[in-house]
Amino acid sequence: MITSYLTHPALAQHDMGHHHPEAPMRLEAIRARLMLSGLLQQTMQSEPVPVTRAQLERVHAPAYLDRLATHLPESGLYEIDSDTRLCPDSLKAAALASGAAVRGVDLVCRQRADNVFCAVRPPGHHAEHQLAMGFCFYNNVAVAAAQALAIHGIERLAILDFDVHQGNGTVDIFRDDPAVLVCSSYQQGFYPWRYLDGDWDNIVNTPLAAGTDGKVFRQAIERDWLPALEAHRPQLILLSSGFDAHRDDPLGQLMLDHEDFHWITTLAMDVARRHANGRLVSILEGGYHPQALPLSVEAHLQALLGQAYHP
């Protein structure tokens, strides 16, 4: 089993200000934990190159991309909304994050890795076709999906989004696209309050009540996602991997544990083996507790490496 680990030191240059939860230390905490456990050394590590404008335009409006570039400050911060701010290096980091997603797809589709984890920031699943929000500028998983469809001959793929927040940007970009099945679990009645209602054949929403634990979460995923995945028969699995559904995360009230992230990763890998020759790319989304995040990613990576969960 070859698991590729993609990240880049310049991702730390995106900084939305003091006390912002989406902070540069997130990736350093992950790296430190994976080094300590020895898991990082078991992966094939490499760095991405920035995404191209043409790759971004597959999922984002050109005028939106121009507007982001226009707002990029020479110093300080430009506030898009109360949660989402540009610093001088934000789009450089965002381009590398989406570039990692593209490289991940290229690696698995060219059989150079079995699966990939993209340890990247800023996250992407709230970024809509022409709207930045929720800490997100470029929709990394959508860019990855578009790369698979445009370049690698993939006809059907699935995006599995487990996060305390719904992946509204991914829904916005792919609703009514029969090639892309989007399954999203999230805390019910919670941010972003968009696309929670809607009837699209390719969108599977799994809202979870505040306080939902791992047992109920697993039952809901098996009930909602597995029938849709078996019907869709995806040739590639993409994961929007959000670890802010952890019980200790400060941004939500779901009660998942590290082992639940190992479980859902294993489930996704089982689907990938049945339908996609094992091809799977995971892209980091949420996760904001400095201790819970790296431990959750450790459990996730154990599953990607084909290992049983062990704390």
Q: Sort strands 78-79 and 85-86 into parallel, antiparallel or unpaired.
A: antiparallel
Structure tokens at 24: 């540069």
Give CA–CA dist 14/223, Å, rounded: 39
Strand 157-162: give its sheet, edge to edge: 44-46, 3-6, 115-118, 280-284, 237-241, 157-162, 180-187, 203-208
Q: Which residues are catalytic?
A: 126
Coil, strand or helix at 226 = helix
Give Dmax over CA atoms of the chain in angstroms.
50
Phi-psi region of 95 (alpha: psi -120 to 50; beta: other; left: phi over 0): alpha
Spatial CA neighbour of 237 closest among 286, 285, 184, 180: 180
Transcribe 229-264 into DSSP letters. Answer: HHHH--S-EEEEE--TTBTT-TT---BB-HHHHHHH
Name the β-bridge partners of 180.
157
Q: How many CA atoms lie within 13 A of 248 on its CB side?
A: 11
Residues in CB range of 74: below 8 A, 6 or more apart: 88
Residue entry with tokens 């310049």: 10
Using alpha carbons, list the distances in angstroms from residue 79 to 17, 28, 70, 124. Answer: 11, 25, 13, 17
User: CB–CB of 191/228 below 8 Å?
Assistant: no
User: CB–CB of 267/224 below 8 Å?
Assistant: no
